[in-house]
């Protein structure tokens, strides 16, 4: 595992299961949460709206993702789908 640096200087360490659509990236974050999830979606705007209706609030729009905060204070990001299964329609859609 080697650290990967993003355009904004954030460093990630990636873990992957070769041949499977599983990827975990570990990032040092400045907020209090000890865990930060990125939720992949086929439709970022619709997912953000759905989460806001459930009580989450939009914190910021950064590059190509949206930082949100749950009513409990847990921060997470909503990102456009990635990975080898990304081409399958509806693969990242909640019922």
Spell out the domain ranges in the chain. Answer: 3-80
CATH topology (fold) of 3-80: 2,3-Dihydroxybiphenyl 1,2-Dioxygenase; domain 1 (3.10.180)
* In the chain, alpha helices (H): 44-53
Cα–Cα distances in Å, from 12 out to 2, 5, 9, 26, 45?
Answer: 9, 6, 10, 5, 25
> Which residues does 58 contact at the CB level (< 8 Å), separation at least 6?
48, 52, 66, 67, 68
User: Per-residue pLDDT for 36 more than 70?
Assistant: yes
Model-level pTM?
0.62
User: Per-residue pLDDT for 17 more than 70?
Assistant: no
- Centre a 10 Å sphere on the Cβ of residue 73 and count the other Cβ atoms it contains: 9
Round the average pLDDT of the chain to a whole number and report it.
Answer: 76
């Amino acid at each position: 595992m080697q650290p990967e640096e993003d355009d904004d200087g954030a460093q990630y360490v990636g873990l992957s299961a070769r041949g499977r659509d599983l990827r975990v990236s570990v990032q040092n974050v400045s907020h209090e949460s000890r865990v930060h999830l990125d939720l992949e979606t086929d439709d970022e705007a619709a997912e953000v709206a759905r989460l806001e209706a459930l009580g989450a609030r939009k914190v910021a729009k950064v590059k190509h993702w949206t930082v949100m905060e749950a009513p409990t204070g847990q921060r997470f990001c909503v990102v456009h789908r990635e990975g080898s299964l990304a081409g399958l329609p509806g693969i990242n859609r909640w019922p």
